[in-house]
Amino acid sequence: MGKRVAVVLAGCGVYDGSEIHESSAVLVHLSREGAQAEVYAPDVDQMHVVDHVKGQPTQEKRNVLVESARIARGNIKDLAKLDVKGLDALIIPGGFGVAKNLSTWATQGKNCIISKEVEDVLKAFHAAKKPIGLCCISPVLAAKIFPGCELTVGHDTECEKWPYAKMAETMKELGCKHVNKHVTEIHVDVKNKLVTTSAFMCNAPIHEIYDGIGKMVKEVVRLA
């Protein structure tokens, strides 16, 4: 039997949910590694809904589980039902939904609160010494929950290629060790079994983002 890997989503769409290309890349690479993905999302309202053409919030209301089901092709479970015992690893793709629906990072930065369901799941995998893969913005969840852990969100010097580099500085302020890595590279925190890669934190061609996520997935499955 292949490894069973929980994939936690935060909606559908980069500006208010999970980043669709990252989520798809995770699922494709898990399939390639012979692992079985089990997709979960919290049954809560989104912080807000963003019109992805205009980049502006709308008055609409949407549910995180219902929206995430689009990516999972309907094969999804409520995060509240996740049982770490039957699973070998956890992966959380990026997208602003991580900072809006799984936590309050978007509005409160390093003083944010992580959703209790999400925090409980991360702590359960960590306590069971099961690997956790995080990409793009989702390493902020580990930065907040596991002080002193090692992570990458790419580079810590802002430029056209790394527009979100200030995130690395904020992680350092939380007491984490940030390791600069290229978009096609990963960082492995051996002690905490955390595998991270920058994905769309980098202004890079989509195939490089896909390849970096592939390395993250491969290492998570290897550690499981």
Type and span of the H or E element at 98? helix 97-100
DSSP string computed for 119-184: HHHHHHHHHTT--EEEETTTHHHHHHHSTT-EE--S-SS-SSS-TTTHHHHHHHHTTPEE----TT
112 is catalytic: no
Indicate which residue of 135, 136, 149, 202 is catalytic: 136
Among residues 188, 110, 193, 201, the alpha carbon closest in space to that of 154 is found at 201
Among residues 190, 219, 192, the alpha carbon closest in space to that of 127 is found at 192
Type and span of the H or E element at 209? helix 206-223
Active site residues: 136
